[in-house]
Structure 1
Amino acid sequence: MDDHDDQPTPDPTMTRIVDAVQLGRSGQQVRARDTLTALWDEIGADGDPFHRCTLAHYLADLQDTAEAELSWDERALAAVSELTDERARQYHHSLQVQGFLPSLHLNLADVQRRLGNTTVAREHLAMAQRFAGQLPDDPYGEVIRAGIRGLTEALESPRE
């Protein structure tokens, strides 16, 4: 095998997703949501699972209601079940599907808690904790581990 096999495959769809996410992070949430929603429609429900997982994951954060957020978080988790490490590594050589699971389950646990579904929230939190060992030892991994700790505390503390 030559070194070329280690290079990521150019992915114009991921470029468009990343550009839209940057819009949202710059304060243009509505424009980002509209762009990502149009891209979701373009990709389709049976499109590339890497694209669907990434899109749904980011679209969840741009929703106006917890119910809509839950719907997108569920789509992200459903898409990851169809995703392979091989496909993820086409985008970046270090990606592993199991490394996505802590964040996806953490998001579901959080939105379920906010919706008052504490039993389901605890189930997703347990899954996030179970897969946390797959997280890299880097700032991203620490953000997710901190989120798991914070949500654990929130679920252990009764609402006032």
Structure 2
Amino acid sequence: MKTTLAWAVLLIGTVAVQAVLLPLIFTQGVKPDIILIITMSAGLLAGRERAVGVAFFAGLMQDFASGNVFGLNTLAKMATGYTAGLAERKVFKESILLPVLAVIIATLFNSAFMQALLFILGYKVEPAAVFMNQVLPSIGYNILFCIPVHRLIYRMTFGNRSQF
């Protein structure tokens, strides 16, 4: 119960910051996706079940806050969290490189998944323009935030059992 409450507070606070504060700081339209980083870290550290649950709750709130195609963020985050969760037992969780490499892969996967969903829904998709104007800057911003967020998720998952 205590852990569920901590996750809920983290996700609600993060969605609020990402929807309200980050657009004021990052004015060019591209901003870090902290929800994606949390989902990716939950998958790598706590497994696919936890990641899918976190991604569903966070993606749903993000869909409500964003005004995009409803369900797009939810499905993309769930797929990303599930995919990251598949690697949970295969990674060295204390590695400082893990969140950096994983966030690059997760950002690419999440963006490709969202573009594929939009294409399936009949929207015009320009992958090259999206990649250059949105995905690459988003990767850079996500890298800036990935280590502190990953450490926070590590502490929420394992407590203070390690020196990470």
Higher relative contact order (CA 8 A, sep 6+): 2
Q: Same fold (TM over 0.5)?
A: no
Query: Which of the pair has more CA radius of gyration?
Result: 1
TM-score normalised by the chain length of structure 2: 0.31
TM-score if structure 1 supplies the norm length? Answer: 0.31
